[in-house]
Chain A
Amino acid sequence: MAVQTSPRTPTGSSSTSTASPRTPTGQPWTEKWGGLLFVAPFLVLFGFFLLWPTLSGLWNSFFNKSLAGVGGEFLGLANWREVFHDPAVWSSLKNTLVFTAMSTPPLVLTALVMALLANRTGVFGWFLRFAYFAPFVLPATVVTLIWVWIYQPGFGLVNGLLTSAGFAEIDWLNTENRAMLAVVITTVWWTVGFNFLLYLAALQGIPEHLYEAAAIDGAGDRQKLFRITLPLLSRTTGLIVVLQLVASLKIFDQIYLMTVGGPNFSTRPIIQYIYESGFTSYRIGYASAISYLFFVVIVIVSIAQFKLFSGRKEDLR
């Protein structure tokens, strides 16, 4: 974890460093417990809005708890058994994984291409950075309103281009096998900017003298790219892939807003199924059990990420 401090002298304090031993003012209570006061506000919120729901979710998963406030009897493992036998759980989990698998490669590769194109381009770079990253700052709803319109059969932009080029029109969001692709395209457009900036930062961290030395050795642009740039970006690529995997697994917004999981549930992600089970069908207990299954998947990926990274770091040292 690299941390560096800009040596900004705090205003109003002299910089004479008298390594002063703390004067024991005889207030043992504040010395011992005072620190807790600093973390207390966070801990209270953490307890209320993270720890408590995490635990109550686990608790609820053993009960027939209903949004409507009826029922609520102890079910033992029935919810959990149902999770493992519910095809909708597995198909929505599969959709989530399919989305992750489909979206991650283009989100990484497009970002890399963009960063290579936008690196060291002077004033023009401002425009490129703006264009590539701008969609990222838009809310999901704005993005999906625009793209649903673009995919619209009849008079949407994409189909307009398709038909004018002589192809058949595609009802993107209402056709199985096309809807997920449409969502992935939208997602790449929307979120690739973040990965692009990560790559750009890494590119700008590559010392210029490496290229100069290579140029002296007579290396061409292509060699510089494959011998210097790409190898030096490998750690960043690893980071981006991992961040992207975890982010993609949490897919909900775009799909819910574009297809509501359709057609024929072919795009419904697991979070939407949790939402539907808990709120549309009132089944808080069951939805909590699905949430925990999903939680386990996320934790596994996160731990894999941690392992991968602690390993990689040591390689570099």
Chain B
Amino acid sequence: MTAQAISLRPAVSGPVQPRFTFAKVALIAGAALLALLWLVPLLWALDTSLKPEPETTRTPITWFPIDPTSAAYRSVLEQGSILRWFLNSTIVAVLVTALTLLVSVLAAYGFSRTTFPGRKVLFGLLVAGILVPPQVLIVPLFAEMTTLRLVDTYWGVVLPQVVAPVMVFVLKKFFDGVPRDYEDAARVDGANRLRIVWSVMVPMSRPILGAVAIFTFIGAWNNFLWPFIVTTDPSMMTIPVGLANVQGSYGLRYAQIMASAVLGGLPLLIIYGLFQRHVIRGVGDAGVKG
């Protein structure tokens, strides 16, 4: 598997002969058609959001807005909630990502490089924890949150998402493969273990940490079920949860609904556009590493 992991490079490689056979053209056309099919829903949402309300329900459907307007966006933004939800999503996703990385790196190092009584048992517990899907915990976890008075708080949304045993597991396996020489060298220089984690392990594992960070961030930003359970106050909701509530209250105003969908999807589309290479390699790594 090592060979596969190394060769995860961008597609443009090797000798590509630019032979334009019929089959090749057909393949490219097929690929483009499929891509277009995949983009149509997004474009249709954008298209609808730019129409004046009456035009959205006109039959037969009009393909392009006859009279494009940003009215839907203006009224969505004026209602204000969506900005608040953006803020909440940002706070939640940043906190979840930062805390997950911090807690998981420390734990992975602890399990990989230190010994203490009960280490094996605790690691076994962690591995068992991977098997527990968060979905089955919603009911007892909510009951717990009411006791801890964390319902409708950021910590209530964030903390359960920080518990990612699979991340610890993956990072521990990665750390296991880091030669001890570097660490010993740093130790000779008098660095304590916390410093070793920071200046040896973290730089060495930057690619995998990057992948973990991007996926944790996307996951936290997009997480629906848990924030949906633990927030009831609309001012504490994240984007996915808030938008779900909007459905009911907008009535039949499709341009507005589509405008809020476009706004809700935009941040991550932009992030994905910017980090596409990292995201793609991250998935590849995840797959190869199993």
Do A and B truly interact?
yes
Number of A-B residue pairs, CB cutoff 8 Å, is 377
Q: Could you pull out 7 A-B pairs where Cβ atoms are within 8 angstroms?
A: A6-B204, A34-B193, A65-B143, A120-B16, A149-B48, A157-B44, A257-B224
In the assembled complex, the Cα of A32 lies from the Cα of B115 at a distance in Å of: 7
B120-149: contact bitstring with A at CB < 8 Å (1 yes, 0 no)? 001001100101110111111111100000
Enumerate the 9 nearest inter-chain pairs by beta-carbon distance, A residue then B residue, closest first. A35-B114, A38-B110, A201-B284, A3-B177, A2-B1, A42-B107, A131-B35, A57-B140, A205-B4
* Additional pairs, 17, CB under 8 Å, beyond known A141-B264, A294-B136: A1-B173, A18-B185, A35-B115, A36-B114, A38-B114, A41-B102, A42-B168, A45-B159, A49-B141, A53-B141, A117-B31, A132-B38, A134-B42, A200-B284, A201-B284, A204-B7, A208-B13
B187 to chain A, nearest CB (A): 7
Are B287 and A35 touching (Cβ within 8 A)?
A: no
A interface residues (Cβ-Cβ under 8 A, vs B): 1-6, 8-20, 22, 32-39, 41-43, 45-46, 48-54, 56-57, 60, 65, 67, 113-114, 117-135, 137-142, 145-150, 152, 154-155, 157, 160, 163-164, 189, 194, 197-198, 200-202, 204-205, 207-208, 221, 236, 239-240, 250, 252-253, 257, 271, 274-275, 278-279, 284, 287-288, 291-292, 294-295, 298-299, 302, 309
Q: Please indicate the chain A residues that have their CB under 8 angstroms from the CB of B27 in the complex.
A: 117
Q: Indicate whether A204 sits within 8 Å of B11 (C-beta atoms), given known contacts A13-B189, A137-B222.
A: yes
Q: Please indicate the chain B residues that have their CB under 8 angstroms from the CB of A51 in the complex.
A: 125, 129
Are A291 and B139 touching (Cβ within 8 A)?
A: yes
B224 to chain A, nearest CB (A): 5
Q: Please indicate the chain A residues that have their CB under 8 angstroms from the CB of B59 in the complex.
A: 154-155, 160
B196 to chain A, nearest CB (A): 9
Are A202 and B185 touching (Cβ within 8 A)?
A: no
Q: Please indicate the chain B residues that have their CB under 8 angstroms from the CB of A128 in the complex.
A: 31-32, 35
Q: Please indicate the chain B residues that have their CB under 8 angstroms from the CB of A131 in the complex.
A: 34-36, 38-39
Are B144 and A53 touching (Cβ within 8 A)?
A: yes
Band of interface residues on B? 35 or more
Interface membership of B80, Cβ < 8 A: no
